[in-house]
Structure 1
Amino acid sequence: MRDALIALWEASDRVCGKRLVSMIPVLLPALERHGRLKPTSAERALLTTLSAATIDRMLIDVKIAAAGGRRRRVGFYSAIRREVP
């Protein structure tokens, strides 16, 4: 199922989980028609009921690898702003 989710994410041009949730019902049949995905009925049901947070959690390592292994540094810029008078 994770491979199918990665294929959906790539086909959607790597959008965030919130946007991908609304695109899955449209993308899934299209990818099936073109032979890119062949999910079982159970996988199809799971893919259409995933939440945005679950999608983001499942794709976190793929997103990091796609960004070249870089992660955002949370709080880094606010710490710099505090130092500037």
Structure 2
Amino acid sequence: MWLTKLQIAIIEKNPEAIDTLMKQMPKFESVDDMKSASALIQEALKLLYHLKNETSITLKKLKKHRNFLNATAENRKNKFDIIS
């Protein structure tokens, strides 16, 4: 059951579910279950690293856009300042 839940969490790309399942890892009855768990954990790690990289790229883009908008807003404010 745990292996199936981990497979579903990986397919759904759900890091919260993966984290929860890692905290609830059972003791496995057979070597085959241990090997399956090991392979799934490796896939989960790959997925989490991939999601981490995607998040990093997105954050960099957002910071770049924010800086651009802030720079544009400052220029616009100075250009139309008729009080000074």
- TM-score category of the 2 structures, normalised to the smaller one: 0.3 to 0.5
Considering fraction of residues, name the structure with more helix.
2
Decide which structure has the larger Cα Rg and report it: 2
Higher relative contact order (CA 8 A, sep 6+): 1
TM-score by length of structure 2 reads: 0.37
TM-score by length of structure 1 reads: 0.37
